[in-house]
Amino acid sequence: MSKPRLAAAMVAAFLAGCSPVQEHSEADRAPGVAYASVGDVVLRVEKTDDLPNAFGRADLFGRKRDRGFSDLRYVGLNAAGQPLFRRRDVDVYSNETTMSRTGAQFGTATATAVASHAAAVAVCTSGAPKATVEPLPPDTTEFAVPQGTGGKLTIGTHGLEILAFDAGGVQYRSW
């Protein structure tokens, strides 16, 4: 096998051997005890996944693409005196790949004449494929946390426990 073919085979095997695309989530604040007033966001979780390469595997350089967010907002007390929260989930549609981020750009087609011999050199030109990234309509849910339930709420693997609340705000512990 020639050296260029061997190198191409090694690169293809290396790229195909990347890890599978995985989803990730990250909370916007450090775990611990905090306080939120009425209308404040109590917890916001940003969602991403690995940018897929040409083989459908995770990007070799660890780049990510946006997949939306979920946030939890304290809105006060309901008529029964229970803490009231509003959760909003926004998903992002994205067909981004490593090729749409970096693209493949080649030189332009050229034609040259040398003495009486005409030589034409055609080189493909291609820009990066267009990526579509757009937020979908938000999904919003409002709910009360009944007393005696432990007061624990979760968004994916992130959560919080309600420690105390009143009409002005809520004290909680996040993890």
Question: In whole angstroms, what is the distance from residue 36 CA to residue 153 CA?
Answer: 15
Q: For residue 25, give the nearest of 52, 48, 6 by alpha carbon.
A: 48
**Mean per-residue pLDDT, 123-127:** 55
Torsion, Cα of 88, 153, 144, 166 (10° steps): -110
Q: What angle do CA 30, 36, 39 make, to 5 degrees?
A: 125
User: If pLDDT is split at 50, 70 and 90, which confidence band does 112 have?
Assistant: very low
Task: Flag whether pLDDT at 111 surpasses 60.
Answer: no
Q: Tokens for 53?
A: 């390469």
For the chain, give every domain's residue range: 20-174
| Summary mean pLDDT of the chain | 84
- 34-50 confidence digits (pLDDT tens): 999 999 999 999 999 99
pLDDT at position 114: 47
- 66-84 confidence digits (pLDDT tens): 999 999 999 999 999 999 9
Dihedral sign, Cα of residue 140, residue 144, residue 146, residue 152:
positive
Question: Taking a C-beta distance cutoff of 8 angstroms, is the pair 39, 32 a contact?
Answer: no
pLDDT at position 103: 61
More confident residue, 90 or 109: 90
Question: Taking a C-beta distance cutoff of 8 angstroms, is the pair 141, 118 a contact?
Answer: no
Q: What is the pTM of this model?
A: 0.73
